[in-house]
Structure 1
Amino acid sequence: MKKTHEHKTVVLRKKLEESEALEIIDDKKIGLFKSVFSRPKRDDIHIHSVKLYYECILIISGKYMANYFRKATHSISVSSNVSEVILGDGIFPVRTKSNFKKAIVGKRGKNKVDLKLEEHVFVENEDELTFDHHGREIKFPFKLNSKTTENYPNRLLEKNSSNVKNSELTHDDGIKKLQSFLKKPLVDEVRNLEEEFVLREITEVYVPIYEARLIGPKKKVGIIRIDSVRKKVL
């Protein structure tokens, strides 16, 4: 059973009526069935059905925080007559120069000392991921405001419940994908790792899409899908 978290529901307003969608379908239907060797006649293609579906786009936002210690090496320059650096209980010798480097810089060239230390690192990453109703990651292509969204989204979805396509990705799986995205790979040697993930918001955005089922020559079936918000064939 799919587990759902508390979430916000948004339904986008359609800008395309069915009569306009039918004109687009009629214009595109030959291209759906034509091939290199054949081009069917318009009358040979029958529009079997046209339905308006509401497909879910899932948006999940959150914040990942961590702090830890990691090993690191910092190099410093010292005078040419320095042979080692003492820091606390540590003794750090100068880096050995190659013969080539000695020939270039001579005796007066600066020496380098590699200090092997530990860094205390703080990480804070905040972002969101968007998934289509199949659970594939996408970029959100719509604007959300009072002009582009329905006033009573839940009521509209209930009224059209048989034509609603919910996300195939569970909220939990979407959250895991966001956590993985925000948590950058750590170096091999860290200690005292403390990390936290804060879920900001889950939004289900339902997009009205016309889906037409067409029957062509030899009873071949074709599908045309139209985004009724952007008036775009998908």
Structure 2
Amino acid sequence: MTKNKYDIKTIVLKKIIDEKDASVIIEEKKTSLFKKLFKKPSPEEVHVQSLTLYYESLLKISGKYVADYFRKSTHVISVDSNVKEVVLGGGIFPIESKSTLRKAFVGNRGKNKIELPLEEHVFVEEEGEVTFDHHGREIKFQFTINSKTVENYPQQILESNSSTVKKPEITYDAAVDQLKLILKKPLEQDIRNLNDEFTLNAISEIYVPIFEARLVGPNKKIEILRIDAIRNKIL
């Protein structure tokens, strides 16, 4: 699905480390990926075949779901011990018979109970958001978005790094539908006159800079080491 159907906000997060910083981290950590039975290879046995800066997308969507409907419900009311039935709207509702155990505790003068089958007019309002990684998996959003953490010219950065930009694999329609399911939640089966509406608040395409190193170790074994360039964290 193209962006034309939706108003997409594009955000590129600022990295706090550069390629030189990433190379230092890789040199420090590269042997740990080839550890076997508590034994690591020497640094000379592990080679950095490539180091690439990727911009991986996150899709963050927020919205609101509202609904109202009627559902059947039974309400129990207490009446005096000398009340035998209640007349309501042309219907006659007798008291519940007391169990032997209840009679033993409260006697015949305890409050009587009457079940009233009614309809309730229910109003539901749910607002929330969901984030997907570039593979379309639902994740927890862990970044701060403000003027200090985002690039001023996101499109320019993405265009100049177009070969290493990982766009969302999930479509906007599928992502919106997933948020609808989360907010809507299962409704009661026995309802009538359902009026509901979903409002899409915002869709943000957020690009996270990730340094990815391809390492070659003993016996030509290959491992990938990834560094979050925003949090300076090995993934």
State the TM-score, normalized to the length of structure 2.
0.96
1:38 CA drift (Å): 4.1
1:101-132 residue CA offsets vs partner (Å, 9 max, x unmatched): 11011111111111100011111111111111
In the TM superposition, 1:61-140 aligns within 5 A as: 61-140=62-141
1:163-209 residue CA offsets vs partner (Å, 9 max, x unmatched): 10011111111001000000021111001111111111100010000
Aligned to 2:157: 156
Indicate whether 1:179 and 2:183 are aligned. Answer: no
Q: Name the CA distance, whole Å, in 2 between partners of 1:165 and 1:41.
A: 33
Aligned to 1:189: 190
1:52 CA drift (Å): 0.5
Aligned to 1:225: 226
- Please state whether the residue corresponding to 1:156 is helix, strand or coil: helix
1:37 CA drift (Å): 6.2
Matched to 1:127, the amino acid is G
Q: Name the CA distance, whole Å, in 2 between partners of 1:96 and 1:19.
A: 82
Matched to 1:60, the amino acid is I
User: RMSD over aligned Cα, in angstroms?
Assistant: 1.0
The question of whether the paired residues in 2 share the 8 Å contact of 1:10 and 1:203 is answered with yes
The question of whether the paired residues in 2 share the 8 Å contact of 1:69 and 1:191 is answered with yes
**Identical counterparts, % of pairs:** 58
1:3 CA drift (Å): 3.7
Q: Name the CA distance, whole Å, in 2 between partners of 1:196 and 1:143.
A: 30
- Please state whether the residue corresponding to 1:169 is helix, strand or coil: coil
Q: Name the CA distance, whole Å, in 2 between partners of 1:3 and 1:177.
A: 18
1:44-97 residue CA offsets vs partner (Å, 9 max, x unmatched): 000000000000011001111111110011111101111111111221111222
The question of whether the paired residues in 2 share the 8 Å contact of 1:12 and 1:229 is answered with yes
Aligned to 2:144: 143
Moved more, 141-150 or 129-138: 129-138
Q: Name the CA distance, whole Å, in 2 between partners of 1:155 and 1:89.
A: 73
State the TM-score, normalized to the length of structure 1.
0.97
The question of whether the paired residues in 2 share the 8 Å contact of 1:3 and 1:172 is answered with no
Matched to 1:218, the amino acid is N
Q: Name the CA distance, whole Å, in 2 between partners of 1:131 and 1:61.
A: 12
Q: Name the CA distance, whole Å, in 1 between partners of 2:38 and 2:187.
A: 56
Q: Name the CA distance, whole Å, in 1 between partners of 2:64 and 2:18.
A: 40
The gaps in structure 2 that reach 5 residues or longer are: none
Q: Name the CA distance, whole Å, in 1 between partners of 2:40 and 2:88.
A: 82
Q: Name the CA distance, whole Å, in 1 between partners of 2:40 and 2:173.
A: 47
Matched to 2:44, the amino acid is D
- Please state whether the residue corresponding to 1:27 is helix, strand or coil: helix
1:6 CA drift (Å): 2.1
